[in-house]
Amino acid sequence: MNDCAHAAIGVFDSGLGGLSVLKAIRAELPSEDLLYFADSGHAPYGDRDESFIVSRAMTVVDFMVKRGAKAVVIACNTATVVAARQLRDAYGIPIVAMEPAIKPAVELSRNKVVGVLATSRTLASESVSSLVARYGQGADIRLQACPGLVAQVEQGDLDGPVTRALLSQYLAPLQAAGMDTLVLGCTHYPFLMPLIQALAGPGVQVVEPSAAVAREIARRTQKLRHPLDGKRNGATFFYSTAEAADAQARMSALWGKPVAVHAVAAHDGT
Ligand code: DGL
Protein backbone atom coordinates (compact mmCIF):
# COMPACT_ATOMS: atom_id res chain seq x y z
CA MET A 1 0.00 0.00 0.00
CA ASN A 2 1.28 3.46 -0.83
CA ASP A 3 -0.90 6.30 0.44
CA CYS A 4 1.48 8.99 -0.76
CA ALA A 5 1.45 10.16 -4.38
CA HIS A 6 5.01 11.45 -4.08
CA ALA A 7 7.92 10.75 -1.80
CA ALA A 8 7.16 12.08 1.65
CA ILE A 9 9.14 13.05 4.71
CA GLY A 10 8.50 10.54 7.50
CA VAL A 11 8.31 11.77 11.08
CA PHE A 12 7.93 9.49 14.09
CA ASP A 13 7.77 9.52 17.85
CA SER A 14 6.94 7.09 20.66
CA GLY A 15 3.55 8.78 20.58
CA LEU A 16 1.96 12.18 20.10
CA GLY A 17 4.85 14.43 21.17
CA GLY A 18 6.43 14.48 17.73
CA LEU A 19 3.36 16.36 16.49
CA SER A 20 5.05 19.45 17.98
CA VAL A 21 7.93 18.85 15.55
CA LEU A 22 5.56 18.01 12.70
CA LYS A 23 3.92 21.44 13.12
CA ALA A 24 7.27 23.15 12.69
CA ILE A 25 8.10 20.99 9.63
CA ARG A 26 4.71 21.75 8.05
CA ALA A 27 5.32 25.49 8.54
CA GLU A 28 8.83 25.23 7.04
CA LEU A 29 7.86 22.94 4.11
CA PRO A 30 4.24 23.69 3.07
CA SER A 31 4.44 21.77 -0.25
CA GLU A 32 5.92 18.52 1.03
CA ASP A 33 3.88 15.43 1.80
CA LEU A 34 4.45 14.40 5.41
CA LEU A 35 3.86 11.05 7.04
CA TYR A 36 3.54 10.94 10.83
CA PHE A 37 3.81 7.72 12.82
CA ALA A 38 2.79 7.78 16.49
CA ASP A 39 3.88 4.59 18.22
CA SER A 40 1.42 5.34 21.04
CA GLY A 41 0.66 1.63 21.46
CA HIS A 42 4.17 1.38 22.94
CA ALA A 43 4.56 4.78 24.66
CA PRO A 44 6.37 5.81 26.72
CA TYR A 45 9.60 4.48 25.21
CA GLY A 46 11.37 5.69 28.36
CA ASP A 47 9.98 2.71 30.28
CA ARG A 48 11.26 0.15 27.73
CA ASP A 49 14.65 -1.47 27.41
CA GLU A 50 17.04 -0.34 24.69
CA SER A 51 16.66 -3.38 22.40
CA PHE A 52 12.88 -2.88 22.37
CA ILE A 53 13.26 0.81 21.40
CA VAL A 54 15.76 -0.02 18.63
CA SER A 55 13.49 -2.74 17.29
CA ARG A 56 10.43 -0.43 17.31
CA ALA A 57 12.39 2.41 15.65
CA MET A 58 13.57 0.02 12.89
CA THR A 59 10.04 -1.32 12.35
CA VAL A 60 8.55 2.17 12.18
CA VAL A 61 11.19 3.49 9.76
CA ASP A 62 10.75 0.38 7.63
CA PHE A 63 7.01 1.06 7.53
CA MET A 64 7.58 4.65 6.43
CA VAL A 65 10.20 3.78 3.81
CA LYS A 66 7.80 1.21 2.31
CA ARG A 67 5.26 4.01 2.00
CA GLY A 68 7.69 6.18 0.11
CA ALA A 69 9.55 8.15 2.80
CA LYS A 70 12.58 9.82 1.18
CA ALA A 71 13.88 11.11 4.54
CA VAL A 72 13.05 10.61 8.21
CA VAL A 73 12.87 12.83 11.27
CA ILE A 74 13.22 11.04 14.61
CA ALA A 75 10.89 13.42 16.48
CA CYS A 76 11.75 11.79 19.80
CA ASN A 77 14.75 12.55 21.99
CA THR A 78 14.61 9.13 23.65
CA ALA A 79 14.56 7.20 20.33
CA THR A 80 17.36 9.46 19.12
CA VAL A 81 19.75 8.66 21.97
CA VAL A 82 18.98 4.94 21.79
CA ALA A 83 18.49 4.22 18.07
CA ALA A 84 19.73 7.05 15.79
CA ARG A 85 23.06 5.39 15.07
CA GLN A 86 21.49 2.04 14.12
CA LEU A 87 18.89 3.77 11.92
CA ARG A 88 21.58 5.75 10.11
CA ASP A 89 23.62 2.60 9.60
CA ALA A 90 20.62 0.72 8.24
CA TYR A 91 19.05 3.27 5.88
CA GLY A 92 20.66 5.24 3.08
CA ILE A 93 18.27 8.18 3.36
CA PRO A 94 18.68 11.45 5.31
CA ILE A 95 17.80 10.89 8.98
CA VAL A 96 17.47 13.99 11.16
CA ALA A 97 17.31 13.53 14.92
CA MET A 98 16.49 15.58 18.01
CA GLU A 99 18.91 16.85 20.62
CA PRO A 100 18.11 18.94 23.69
CA ALA A 101 18.81 22.60 22.88
CA ILE A 102 21.53 22.96 25.52
CA LYS A 103 23.93 24.96 23.32
CA PRO A 104 21.42 27.70 22.33
CA ALA A 105 20.08 27.80 25.91
CA VAL A 106 23.53 28.48 27.38
CA GLU A 107 24.05 31.21 24.77
CA LEU A 108 20.69 32.79 25.60
CA SER A 109 21.00 32.56 29.38
CA ARG A 110 22.06 35.74 31.15
CA ASN A 111 22.92 34.18 34.52
CA LYS A 112 24.12 30.85 33.02
CA VAL A 113 21.77 28.75 35.13
CA VAL A 114 19.97 26.45 32.70
CA GLY A 115 17.37 23.79 33.47
CA VAL A 116 16.76 20.77 31.20
CA LEU A 117 13.53 18.75 31.36
CA ALA A 118 13.62 15.35 29.60
CA THR A 119 13.01 11.66 30.13
CA SER A 120 15.36 9.75 32.45
CA ARG A 121 16.71 7.76 29.51
CA THR A 122 17.56 10.88 27.51
CA LEU A 123 19.27 12.54 30.48
CA ALA A 124 21.31 9.40 31.26
CA SER A 125 22.61 9.23 27.69
CA GLU A 126 26.11 9.72 26.42
CA SER A 127 24.77 12.38 23.98
CA VAL A 128 23.49 14.59 26.80
CA SER A 129 26.70 14.18 28.84
CA SER A 130 28.71 15.23 25.83
CA LEU A 131 26.46 18.25 25.11
CA VAL A 132 26.87 19.35 28.74
CA ALA A 133 30.65 18.83 28.58
CA ARG A 134 30.94 20.69 25.27
CA TYR A 135 28.60 23.65 25.79
CA GLY A 136 28.06 23.81 29.54
CA GLN A 137 31.41 25.14 30.59
CA GLY A 138 31.05 28.12 32.88
CA ALA A 139 27.33 27.34 33.20
CA ASP A 140 25.28 25.56 35.83
CA ILE A 141 23.23 22.99 33.88
CA ARG A 142 20.53 21.29 35.96
CA LEU A 143 19.14 18.07 34.46
CA GLN A 144 15.65 17.16 35.65
CA ALA A 145 13.96 13.89 34.71
CA CYS A 146 10.16 14.04 34.44
CA PRO A 147 8.61 10.58 34.96
CA GLY A 148 4.90 10.53 34.18
CA LEU A 149 4.80 13.65 32.02
CA VAL A 150 4.79 11.87 28.63
CA ALA A 151 1.80 9.80 29.78
CA GLN A 152 -0.10 12.97 30.77
CA VAL A 153 0.33 14.40 27.26
CA GLU A 154 -0.59 11.03 25.67
CA GLN A 155 -3.83 11.18 27.70
CA GLY A 156 -4.50 14.75 26.55
CA ASP A 157 -4.17 16.16 30.07
CA LEU A 158 -2.30 19.39 29.30
CA ASP A 159 -3.26 21.44 32.37
CA GLY A 160 -5.15 19.27 34.86
CA PRO A 161 -4.20 18.92 38.54
CA VAL A 162 -1.97 15.85 38.06
CA THR A 163 0.03 17.45 35.22
CA ARG A 164 0.28 20.68 37.19
CA ALA A 165 1.51 18.86 40.32
CA LEU A 166 4.12 16.88 38.37
CA LEU A 167 5.42 19.99 36.64
CA SER A 168 5.51 22.02 39.86
CA GLN A 169 7.52 19.24 41.48
CA TYR A 170 9.99 19.04 38.56
CA LEU A 171 10.41 22.80 38.21
CA ALA A 172 10.90 23.48 41.93
CA PRO A 173 14.61 22.50 42.19
CA LEU A 174 15.42 24.37 38.98
CA GLN A 175 13.68 27.48 40.26
CA ALA A 176 15.47 27.15 43.60
CA ALA A 177 18.77 27.08 41.67
CA GLY A 178 17.75 30.36 39.97
CA MET A 179 17.47 29.15 36.35
CA ASP A 180 16.64 31.84 33.80
CA THR A 181 16.48 29.47 30.79
CA LEU A 182 14.70 26.13 30.47
CA VAL A 183 15.24 23.51 27.77
CA LEU A 184 12.39 21.18 26.79
CA GLY A 185 14.30 18.00 25.93
CA CYS A 186 11.31 15.83 25.10
CA THR A 187 8.99 16.47 22.15
CA HIS A 188 5.87 15.90 24.26
CA TYR A 189 6.63 18.87 26.51
CA PRO A 190 6.00 21.74 24.03
CA PHE A 191 2.31 20.83 24.34
CA LEU A 192 2.62 21.86 27.99
CA MET A 193 4.25 25.18 27.07
CA PRO A 194 1.48 27.48 28.44
CA LEU A 195 1.48 25.66 31.78
CA ILE A 196 5.29 25.46 31.95
CA GLN A 197 5.61 29.17 31.19
CA ALA A 198 2.93 30.05 33.74
CA LEU A 199 4.57 27.94 36.47
CA ALA A 200 8.14 28.97 35.64
CA GLY A 201 7.23 32.66 35.51
CA PRO A 202 7.94 35.42 32.99
CA GLY A 203 11.62 35.66 33.95
CA VAL A 204 12.34 32.21 32.52
CA GLN A 205 12.78 31.75 28.77
CA VAL A 206 11.72 28.35 27.49
CA VAL A 207 13.67 26.86 24.59
CA GLU A 208 12.76 23.91 22.35
CA PRO A 209 14.38 22.86 19.09
CA SER A 210 11.50 22.00 16.71
CA ALA A 211 12.03 25.03 14.43
CA ALA A 212 15.76 24.22 14.16
CA VAL A 213 14.95 20.58 13.33
CA ALA A 214 12.49 21.75 10.65
CA ARG A 215 15.19 23.94 9.07
CA GLU A 216 17.61 21.02 9.19
CA ILE A 217 15.27 18.59 7.40
CA ALA A 218 14.53 21.32 4.83
CA ARG A 219 18.27 21.71 4.23
CA ARG A 220 18.90 17.95 4.04
CA THR A 221 16.06 17.40 1.53
CA GLN A 222 16.69 20.46 -0.62
CA LYS A 223 17.69 18.36 -3.63
CA LEU A 224 14.69 16.04 -3.10
CA ARG A 225 11.97 18.70 -3.23
CA HIS A 226 8.48 17.86 -4.37
CA PRO A 227 8.22 18.63 -8.12
CA LEU A 228 5.43 21.16 -7.45
CA ASP A 229 7.28 22.85 -4.58
CA GLY A 230 5.74 26.27 -3.94
CA LYS A 231 2.67 25.49 -6.10
CA ARG A 232 0.73 23.08 -3.87
CA ASN A 233 -0.18 22.34 -0.28
CA GLY A 234 1.40 19.09 0.86
CA ALA A 235 -0.74 16.32 2.33
CA THR A 236 -0.20 14.98 5.84
CA PHE A 237 -0.81 11.28 6.57
CA PHE A 238 -1.23 10.07 10.15
CA TYR A 239 -0.60 6.55 11.49
CA SER A 240 -0.84 5.24 15.03
CA THR A 241 -0.43 1.97 16.91
CA ALA A 242 -3.01 3.12 19.49
CA GLU A 243 -6.65 2.12 19.31
CA ALA A 244 -8.10 3.92 16.24
CA ALA A 245 -10.89 6.08 17.72
CA ASP A 246 -8.69 7.13 20.60
CA ALA A 247 -5.78 8.00 18.33
CA GLN A 248 -8.03 10.02 16.04
CA ALA A 249 -9.45 12.11 18.91
CA ARG A 250 -6.11 12.76 20.59
CA MET A 251 -4.15 13.49 17.45
CA SER A 252 -6.86 15.84 16.18
CA ALA A 253 -6.83 17.71 19.50
CA LEU A 254 -3.06 18.23 19.47
CA TRP A 255 -2.82 18.90 15.72
CA GLY A 256 -5.52 21.58 16.10
CA LYS A 257 -7.97 20.25 13.50
CA PRO A 258 -9.65 16.93 12.69
CA VAL A 259 -7.33 14.39 11.10
CA ALA A 260 -7.93 10.90 9.71
CA VAL A 261 -5.68 8.38 11.45
CA HIS A 262 -4.74 5.04 9.89
CA ALA A 263 -4.54 2.40 12.62
CA VAL A 264 -1.49 0.15 12.49
CA ALA A 265 -1.28 -3.21 14.28
CA ALA A 266 0.67 -2.66 17.49
CA HIS A 267 2.53 -5.97 17.28
CA ASP A 268 4.48 -5.23 14.11
CA GLY A 269 3.64 -1.96 12.35
CA THR A 270 3.90 -3.37 8.83
N1 DGL B 1 8.64 12.36 22.86
C2 DGL B 1 9.60 11.46 23.42
C3 DGL B 1 10.92 12.19 23.63
O4 DGL B 1 11.14 13.19 22.98
C5 DGL B 1 9.03 10.77 24.62
C6 DGL B 1 9.84 9.59 25.05
C7 DGL B 1 9.11 8.48 25.72
O8 DGL B 1 8.13 7.97 25.13
O9 DGL B 1 9.53 8.09 26.81
O10 DGL B 1 11.77 11.79 24.40
Domain boundary among 176, 208, 240: 208
3-state secondary structure of 237: strand
Stretch (H or E) spanning 205 = strand 205-207
Taking each helix axis from N to C end, the angle separating 77-90 and 126-135, rounded to the nearest 10 degrees, works out to 110
The yes-or-no answer on residue 76 being catalytic is: yes
User: 127 CB under 6 A from ligand 1?
Assistant: no
Mark the ranges of the chain whose per-residue pLDDT is less than 50: 1-5, 270
Q: Do 85 and 20 share a domain, yes or no?
A: yes
Residue 81 belongs to some domain of the structure = yes
Number of domains in the chain: 2
In a domain, 219, yes or no: yes
Residue 223 and residue 239 in one domain: yes
DSSP secondary structure code for residue 190 in this structure: G
- Whether residues 90 and 31 share a domain: the answer is yes
pLDDT (0 to 100) of residue 2? 43
One domain for residues 32 and 111: no
3-state secondary structure of 179: coil
Residue whose CA is at the smallest distance from ligand 1 atom 8: 44
- Provide the pLDDT for residue 66: 93
Q: Point out the domain boundary residue: 208, 231, 250.
A: 208
Question: Considering only CA atoms, which of 177, 166, 168, 110 is closest in space to residue 143?
Answer: 177
Residues 201 and 108 in one domain: yes
Tell me, what CATH number does 73's domain have?
A: 3.40.50.1860
Whole-number pLDDT of residue 268? 56
Among the listed residues 21, 76, 95, 151, the single catalytic one is: 76
Query: E-assigned strands of 39-112?
Result: 69-74, 95-97
Q: Is residue 268 part of a domain?
A: no
Give which of 211, 203, 207, 209 is closest to 110, Cα–Cα.
Answer: 203
pTM as predicted = 0.95
Domain assignment present for residue 3? The answer is no
Per annotation, catalytic residue among 71, 81, 131, 186: 186
- Look at residue 2 and tell me if it is in a domain: no
Question: Are 84 and 128 members of one domain?
Answer: no
Query: Do residues 155 and 60 both lie within one domain?
Result: no
Which atom of ligand 1 is nearest to 118's Cα? 10
In a domain, 1, yes or no: no
- What pLDDT does residue 227 have? 79
Decide: 76 in ligand 1 pocket, CB within 6 A: yes
pLDDT at res. 180: 98
Residues 141 and 65 in one domain: no
Q: Kindly state whether residue 202 falls inside one of the protein's structural domains.
A: yes
186 is catalytic: yes
Distance in angstroms (rounded) separating the CA atoms of residues 44 and 46: 5
Q: Is residue 192 part of a domain?
A: yes
88 and 110: one domain? Answer: no
Which atom from ligand 1 is nearest to the alpha carbon of 14? 8
- In terms of residue numbers, what domain contains 241? 9-98+211-263
pLDDT confidence of residue 5 = 45
Those residues whose C-beta lies under 8 Å from the C-beta of residue 210, and which sit 6 or more positions away, are: 20, 21, 23, 24, 187, 190
One domain for residues 119 and 202? yes
Residue 9: what residue type? I
For residue 32, report the phi and psi dihedrals to the nearest 5 degrees: -80, 145
Pocket test for ligand 1, best of 20, 22, 122 (most atoms within 8 A of CB): 122
14 ligand 1 Cβ < 6 A: yes
Whether the CB of 44 sits within 6 Å of ligand 1? yes
Domain check: are 46 and 79 in the same one?
A: yes
For residues 140 and 238, state if they share a domain: no
Q: Is the separation of the CB atoms in 236 and 34 below 8 Å?
A: yes
